[in-house]
Chains A and B, each alone.
Chain A
Amino acid sequence: GAGVSQSPSNKVTEKGKDVELRCDPISGHTALYWYRQSLGQGLEFLIYFQGNSAPDKSGLPSDRFSAERTGGSVSTLTIQRTQQEDSAVYLCATRRAETQYFGPGTRLLVL
C-alpha cells in the first residue's frame, strides 16, 4: 500500500493477557519506529529499527514490552501480561531520509 498500515485498529484485552500489534511499513523504508501515545498526550518513543536490528530500545517501558522486525519489513510489538496502564494508542512510523510517516495506530484498552 501507499502508506504505513497497522493492525488491529482497536484491541480490547483483559489484564494479564499478551497482545501483539502489527506494523506494515511503506515499501523500501528501512527505518521503523514505535511510539506510544496516552490519551491527550504527546508521543513517547519506544523503539527504533534499522533493517531488522534495533539499535535503540531505550524507550521500552519494561521487559514486558518487546518488538521484532523480519525481512526488513513487517514489525510486531508484543506486550506480555498487559496492565491497565498499558492502555494507549500505539503508533508505528517509517522514515525516508529526514522525514517520518505515521500509521493510523492501534488503540489498546486493557480492562
Chain B
Amino acid sequence: GQQLNQSPQSMFIQEGEDVSMNCTSSSIFNTWLWYKQDPGEGPVLLIALYKAGELTSNGRLTAQFGITRKDSFLNISASIPSDVGIYFCAGQLLGNFNKFYFGSGTKLNVKP
C-alpha cells in the first residue's frame, strides 16, 4: 500500500532548541495533516494543510505543504518539555478523500 516516509524516527533535544521533521511520498497528496500523540492518548490534530505551498502556524508549530505535493515538514520552535510525544504526519491522496495514510511517527524527547 501507499507509504509515507517520516523522518527522523526519534529525536533527543535540549529544551529551547528548534525541531524539524518531515514526511515524503512518491505520490501526490491532496491534504497533509500533522498530529501529536501523548502516551495513553489518541492523536490530536495540530495543523491541517490543503494547498501546495501552504505555510501554516499554530503557536510555536509551523508546517508546510510542499510545492511538489509529495512532502510536508513540521517545525517546532523553542521546544519545551510538554512537546514530548510522538508526531505523525498523515495525508490523503489526490482524488481519494476516503482514505488516510500515516507516517510511522517521530518520537520527540526534550531534556529540561
Contact = CB atoms under 8 A, between A and B. Distances in A.
Interface stretch (B11-19, B27-35, B68-76): B27-35
Contacts of A55: 98
Contacts of A91: 42-43
Interface stretch (A14-22, A40-48, A68-76, A78-86): A40-48
A45 B42 CA distance: 14
B35 A102 contact: yes
Contacts of A56: 98-99
A76 to B, nearest CB: 18
B63 interface: no
Interface residues of B, number: 23
Given A99-B48, A102-B42, A42 B99 contact: no
B102 A43 contact: yes
B45 to A, nearest CB: 6
Contacts of A101: 45
Interface string B42-65: 111100101000000000000000
B42 A103 contact: yes
Given A42-B88, A42-B104, A100 B45 contact: yes
A95 B48 CA distance: 13
Nearest to B107: A40
B98 A48 contact: yes
A63 interface: no
Which 8 A-B residue pairings sit nearest by Cβ, starting from the closest?
A102-B42, A98-B31, A42-B104, A43-B102, A104-B42, A102-B43, A105-B42, A99-B48
Interface of B: 30-31, 33, 35, 40-45, 48, 50, 88, 90, 92, 97-100, 102-105
17 contacts: A6-B42, A33-B100, A42-B103, A42-B105, A43-B43, A43-B102, A50-B98, A55-B98, A98-B48, A99-B31, A99-B33, A99-B48, A100-B100, A102-B35, A102-B43, A105-B42, A107-B40
Interface of A: 4, 6, 31, 33, 41-43, 45, 48, 50, 55-56, 91, 93, 95, 98-105, 107
